């Protein structure tokens, strides 16, 4: 418990830094408009102005809670695996395919589709991990390349296997009602996937900080030499963490598709994996802190949308504004991030040897 509290102190310092960053970006934007106070009020308080907007924040935070959790587990094991992005995509299309083709089995269809999405999504992280552990191939490079390979595999499945020829576009057949997550709040798309995401982060934090296997994973990631000295099965421990992270990424895509969409229609990688990396960095790979970090990014997204819709600010300006907030927030902590620093040291060492 003391370790968790100690890790929360840097997070609070990060919150203070982010507050300053928002002020430095928001005030000039507001002063450039006719009604500066309305701009500030809309961005800071608009997302909390109604139950619907609060639901929108949670809805936006749900997928990145799960991808942030996945990234936290992957990074804690010591590998900079970026297969979460394609894992999210493949998990979504896998869940849609399972829901469409499995004969109706009532309410049981939903968990089956979610589990199937998690399983197929796990390959996007386990393949780069296997290549690293077996052949010492950089997981950073292989996961980035394989992201696009898995994207094209998903597009093949969408076009030739689950595409509805009567849909008028590149879309799957309709997802059965039995495979849909329940809506929680009228007037929004908030669904029971949000509850699942919060529980998953709490369970992930408990596993990482309060179980022996979680401790072994943290030792393997932070100090491989110590892990070998203690006799821990290093490769097995790392591979299990990569499998878990990949399954969570695939599960996140399944939750997104079955919670928000009637058909699968993604023609490109949705980007939630990259946002999950930002969340994990902000949370310092602490699954408990992933929850408020994801909610913060959801708040920024909803606040930016309100500016674009209600204050006549061009969407391009709002996009730059919100991206600058996320970039500044990430930059404020990335120089202290152990995994990032380890990657930089490895690159320097390899450069020096060459």
Q: What is the CATH number of the domain that holds 118?
A: 1.10.3470
335 vs 308, residue with greater confidence: 308
Determine contact, residues 163/178, Cβ cutoff 8 Å: no
pLDDT of 3 higher than 80: no
3-state secondary structure the chain: CHHHHHHHHHHHHHHHHHHHHHHHHHHHHHHCCCCHHHHHHHHHHHHHCCHHHHHHHHHHHHHHHHHHHHHHHHHHCCCCCCCHHHHHHHHHHHHHHHHHHCCCCHHHHHHHHHHHHHHHHHHHHHHHHHHHHHHCCCHHHHHHHHHHHHHHHHHHHHHHCCECCCCCCCCECCCCHHHCCCECCCCCCCECHHHHHHHHHHHHHHHHHHCHHHHHHHHHHHCHHHHHHCCCCHHHHHHHHHHHHHHHHHHHHHHHHHHHCCCCCCCCCCCHHHHHHHHHHHCCCCHHHHHHHHHHHHHHHHHHHHHHHHCCCCHHHHHHHHHHHHHHHHHHHHCCCHHHHHHHHHHHHHHHHC
φ and ψ of 172, to 5 deg:
-80, 175
Mean pLDDT for 168-193 is: 92
Mean pLDDT for 227-247 is: 95
Quote the number of domains for the chain: 1
pLDDT of 163 higher than 90: yes
Number of residues in the chain: 354
Determine contact, residues 79/338, Cβ cutoff 8 Å: no
Of 52-66, 116-130, 311-325, give the lowest mean pLDDT range: 311-325
Supply the pLDDT for residue 334. 64
Tens of pLDDT along 21-77? 788 888 888 888 788 889 899 999 999 989 899 999 999 999 999 999 999 999 999
Buried (b) or exposed (e) across 310-347, using 16+ Cβ within 10 A? ebebeeeebeebbeebbebbbebbeeebebeeebeeee
Supply the pLDDT for residue 84. 96
Average pLDDT, the chain: 89
pLDDT of 151 higher than 70: yes
Distance of CA 117 to the CA centre of its chain: 15
What is the residue range of 100's domain? 2-353
Determine contact, residues 215/294, Cβ cutoff 8 Å: no
Supply the pLDDT for residue 23. 85
pLDDT of 8 higher than 70: no
Supply the pLDDT for residue 2. 59
**Residue 113 structure tokens:** 């589709």
Which residue bears the tokens 């997802």?
Answer: 175
């Amino acid at each position: 418990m003391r370790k968790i509290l100690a890790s929360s102190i840097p997070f609070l310092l990060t919150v203070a830094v982010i507050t300053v960053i928002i002020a430095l970006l928001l005030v000039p934007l507001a002063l450039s408009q006719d009604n500066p106070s309305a701009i500030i009020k809309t961005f800071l308080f608009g997302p909390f102005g109604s139950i619907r907007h609060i639901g929108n924040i949670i809805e936006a935070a749900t997928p990145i809670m799960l991808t942030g959790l996945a990234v936290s587990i992957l990074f804690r094991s010591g590998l900079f695996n970026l297969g979460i992005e394609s894992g999210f995509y493949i998990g979504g299309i896998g869940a849609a395919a399972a829901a469409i083709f499995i004969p109706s089995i009532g309410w049981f269809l939903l968990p089956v589709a979610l589990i199937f999405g998690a399983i197929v999504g796990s390959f996007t992280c386990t393949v780069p991990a296997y290549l690293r552990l077996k052949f010492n191939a950089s997981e950073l490079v292989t996961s980035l390349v394989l992201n696009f390979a898995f994207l094209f595999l998903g597009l093949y499945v969408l076009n030739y296997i689950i595409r509805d020829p009567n849909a008028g576009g590149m879309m799957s057949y309709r997802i059965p009602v039995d495979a849909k997550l329940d809506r929680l709040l009228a007037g929004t798309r908030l669904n029971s996937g949000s509850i699942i995401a919060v529980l998953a982060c709490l369970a992930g934090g408990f596993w990482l900080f309060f179980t022996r296997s979680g401790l072994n994973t943290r030792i393997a990631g932070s100090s491989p030499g110590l892990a070998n000295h203690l006799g821990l099965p290093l490769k097995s421990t790392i591979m299990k963490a990569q499998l878990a992270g990949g399954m969570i990424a695939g599960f996140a895509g399944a939750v997104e598709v079955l919670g928000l969409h009637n058909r699968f229609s993604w023609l490109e990688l949705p980007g939630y994996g990259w946002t999950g990396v930002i969340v994990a960095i902000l949370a310092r790979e602490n699954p408990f802190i992933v929850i408020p970090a994801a909610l913060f990014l959801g708040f920024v997204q909803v606040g930016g949308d309100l500016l674009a819709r209600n204050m006549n600010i061009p969407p391009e300006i709002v996009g730059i504004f919100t991206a600058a907030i996320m970039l500044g927030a990430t930059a404020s902590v990335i120089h202290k991030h152990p995994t990032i620093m380890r990657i930089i040291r490895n690159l320097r060492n390899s450069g020096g040897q060459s």
